[in-house]
Amino acid sequence: MIYTVAFIILIGILVFAHELGHFLMGKLCKVRIEAFSIGFGKPLLHKKVGETDYRISAIPLGGYVKFFGDDEKDGKVDPELKHLTLYGQSVPKKSLIVVAGPVFNFILAGILFAFVYFIGEPNLATIIGYVEPGSTADESGIREGDQVLAVNGQSVDTWNEMDEKISAGNQKVMLTIKREEGIKGLTLPLTEELSRNKYGEIIRKPQIFGIMPNKRSALVGVNDPVSPAFKAGFKTGDLITEVDGKKIETWDEFENALISGNKISKIKIKREKEEIELILSKDTNYKKGETRVYIVVNITTLSDSYYSYANNLGFYPSELFISDFVKKDSPAVKAGMQIGDRMVAVNGKILRTFQSLQQVVDKAGRNDEELNILLEREGALITVKISPKLQNIDQENIGQKDKRFLLGVQTYYYMGPVVEKKIIIRNPIKLIWASTVKTVTWIWITLVGLIKLFTGAVSLKAIGGPLMIGKVAGDSLHLGIVYFLRIMAIISINLGIINLFPIPVLDGGHLMFFGIEAVTGKPLKEKYIMIAQQVGFYLLIGLIVLSFYNDILKYGSNILGMFLGIFK
């Protein structure tokens, strides 16, 4: 039910703001307004006040303002009343009335962003959630829990700010760190790593390798049949939620609970939709700090000094377990990799995270190198040789087309908790400035995204319809009102920009006609307007069909659930 409610509230407010822009500017220009409707089709509720009938109509996918004479632009309106029609106004006035709708969407976005800042905009704090063992960050002295106060002497409040200042560096960066012992300065080397920019594009930029804002989640991978974990019934993809009554959110909490518990533990997990309790017998000869040695034919003997108690029981972080393949003919499939395999090491180096695997694959691909990957399959160790392949991948979740070197594997991944910092602005001048900058930034990001859509850099699968909006609205409302307001602001900007497209039947189409009138000195002939509107209508229908098609592909199995109020 929350998805339906969220959709109705979001669409209702956005449509109201858009149509209110047309309505108020029309009133200001003294144009008679016959109807103001939220929704299309048959009016469910209506009340006439003065000359205007205010309506809430049956189909909640838009709205309209009906101006006097809209149906009779061909001269049937009494000449004495022509000044009360939209088309009887001067070009500047007509243009103002039409453009006011999208402008009000931008104004609404600014107001919503102001509310977000006033309540507190959630951002990732500059607190290190995870440091990969053996990485440059680890070797340089970064610890989990460190708070970065400044980058090269410039203060930072959020992870994004920190990332931007780090990537502006060259070979080294100086961080000012706050930890329990006090303030400390650390100089770290930078390496060029894969990342995404704010438009969702894959780029390479200078980064500190081995740090993440999130802690490792307790999503486990299990594939050794003789391990205690496997015998207890654990499966790859299980999310540990509780050990002997202790709530678990991170891998470290899981590890500590295992160590401090009894020889037999009651462990609660979440497996897909089910909540399950399993009994784990921890009869093991593991000694704390023990090192595991892998001896494999054709691969140098590997020592894992970070081998842990959880590993000894058969539990590993799930992000290096293969869940699927990107394509049937991907390099991973050809090399003989299988779903369920755990990627242990690459070229003789133990793997810790999927992120580190991505970086190794990218560098090997660019240098045309072959990789030796050590796999664990049902307790046995297997070596495969594989050459990364440059592939175009359509990332359906963001509609971004990626061109990068891949093995072609997907893994089990679940983001662990992060520390958030709320940016709160109560000073009115700063609030207006910050919300305006935010609105302009998102207008620019949206425009760039649309350009990429037309040039093919972004997939048409990125276009979504009512189901996508309902899903995004419901998900954000689940997270909290601030997330909902922020999503509403972004969608409002999208609505405003799309309405400015020079497509007849949209506001931009009307502006295009008025532009022609301003140049030629007379309105475009009615027959040409009708032809253009028919073309625009079919273009709009095509766009709507495409958006519904994409929605059905992504959320088809949940459509019934959405209307029943149980959208997944």
Q: 355 and 228, same structural domain?
A: yes
Which residues on adjacent β-strands are paired with residue 497? Answer: none
Last residue of a domain, one of 212, 232, 253: 212
In a domain, 60, yes or no: no
- How far apart are the C-alpha atoms of 376 and 357, rounded to whole Å? 16
- Residue 8's domain spans which residues? 2-29+89-119+462-564
Mean pLDDT for the chain?
86
Q: Which of 317, 444, 473 is nearest to 3 (CA)?
A: 473
Q: 232 and 199, same structural domain?
A: no
Helix (H, G, I), strand (E, B) or coil at 89: coil
Q: Is residue 241 pLDDT above 90, yes or no?
A: yes
- How far apart are the C-alpha atoms of 165 and 149, rounded to whole Å? 12
Q: Is residue 38 pLDDT above 80, yes or no?
A: yes
Could you report the per-residue pLDDT of 437-471, keeping only the tens digit for each? Answer: 999 999 998 888 888 777 766 666 667 777 778 88
In a domain, 318, yes or no: yes
- What is the reported pLDDT for 561? 55
- What is the reported pLDDT for 379? 87
Q: Is residue 566 pLDDT above 50, yes or no?
A: no
For residues 322-343, give the mean pLDDT.
90
- What is the reported pLDDT for 286? 77
| Cα dihedral 213/218/224/230 (nearest 10) | 180
Contact 399, 458 (CB under 8 A): yes
Give the side-chain half-sphere CA count within 13 A for 478.
Answer: 12
- What is the reported pLDDT for 482? 93
DSSP 241-262: EEETTEE--SHHHHHHHHHHS-
Contact 103, 55 (CB under 8 A): no
Q: 281 and 164, same structural domain?
A: no
In a domain, 58, yes or no: no
Cβ-Cβ contacts under 8 Å for 252 (sequence gap 6 or more): 215, 216
What is the token pair recorded at 376? 């664990």
In a domain, 384, yes or no: yes
Could you report the per-residue pLDDT of 378-423, keeping only the tens digit for each? Answer: 988 989 999 998 876 665 444 556 677 888 898 998 888 898 888 8
In a domain, 146, yes or no: yes
DSSP 194-252: EEE-TTS-EEEEEE-TTEESEEEP-EEE---TTSHHHHTT--TTEEEEEETTEE--SHH
In a domain, 453, yes or no: no
Last residue of a domain, one of 351, 384, 413: 413
Q: Is residue 18 pLDDT above 80, yes or no?
A: yes
| Cα dihedral 459/463/469/472 (nearest 10) | 10
- How far apart are the C-alpha atoms of 4 and 561, rounded to whole Å? 10
Last residue of a domain, one of 212, 228, 244: 212
Say whether 19 is catalytic.
yes
In a domain, 66, yes or no: no
- What is the reported pLDDT for 186? 92
Query: CA dist 546 to 61, 462, 496, Å?
Result: 16, 10, 20
Ordered alpha helix ranges (H), 66-135: 91-119
For residues 149-174, give the mean pLDDT.
90
Lowest mean pLDDT among 156-165, 315-324, 493-502, 535-544: 535-544
- What is the reported pLDDT for 119? 94
Q: 380 and 240, same structural domain?
A: yes
Number of domains the chain contains: 3
Q: 263 and 336, same structural domain?
A: yes
Q: Is residue 532 pLDDT above 60, yes or no?
A: yes
Amino acid, res. 420: E
Q: 320 and 183, same structural domain?
A: no
Q: 283 and 156, same structural domain?
A: no
- What is the reported pLDDT for 288? 75
* Mode of pairing for the β-strands spanning 238-243 and 219-221: antiparallel
Q: 114 and 177, same structural domain?
A: no
Question: From the centroid of its chain, how far is CA 3?
Answer: 18
**Residue predicted with more confidence, 91 or 80:** 91
Q: 147 and 96, same structural domain?
A: no
120: left (phi over 0), alpha (psi -120 to 50) or beta: left
- What is the reported pLDDT for 181? 87
Cβ-Cβ contacts under 8 Å for 214 (sequence gap 6 or more): 129, 130, 415, 416, 417, 418
Would you say the pTM of this structure is higher than 0.85?
no
CATH number for the domain harbouring residue 178: 2.30.42.10
Q: 343 and 229, same structural domain?
A: yes
- What is the reported pLDDT for 568? 44
Q: Is residue 75 pLDDT above 70, yes or no?
A: no
- How far apart are the C-alpha atoms of 95 and 532, rounded to whole Å? 18
- What is the reported pLDDT for 394? 60
Cβ-Cβ contacts under 8 Å for 313 (sequence gap 6 or more): 227, 228, 229, 258, 280, 282, 284, 286
For residues 28-38, give the mean pLDDT.
90
pLDDT band at 282 (very low <50, low <70, confident <90, very high): confident
Q: Which of 1, 76, 67 is nearest to 36 (CA)?
A: 67
- How far apart are the C-alpha atoms of 44 and 54, rounded to whole Å? 11
Question: From the centroid of its chain, how far is CA 307?
Answer: 34
pLDDT band at 491 (very low <50, low <70, confident <90, very high): very high
Ordered alpha helix ranges (H), 390-506: 428-455, 466-479, 481-499
- What is the reported pLDDT for 504? 83
- What is the reported pLDDT for 15? 92
Spot the catalytic one: 19, 132, 319, 376. 19
In a domain, 50, yes or no: no
Give the side-chain half-sphere CA count within 13 A for 475.
Answer: 8
Which residues on adjacent β-strands are paired with residue 391? Answer: 404
- What is the reported pLDDT for 146? 93
Q: 386 and 348, same structural domain?
A: yes
Q: 295 and 201, same structural domain?
A: no
For residues 71-99, give the mean pLDDT.
78
Phi, psi of 356 (to 5 degrees): -65, -35
Q: What percent of the chain has pLDDT above 90?
A: 42
Could you report the per-residue pLDDT of 112-123, keeping only the tens digit for each? Answer: 999 999 999 999
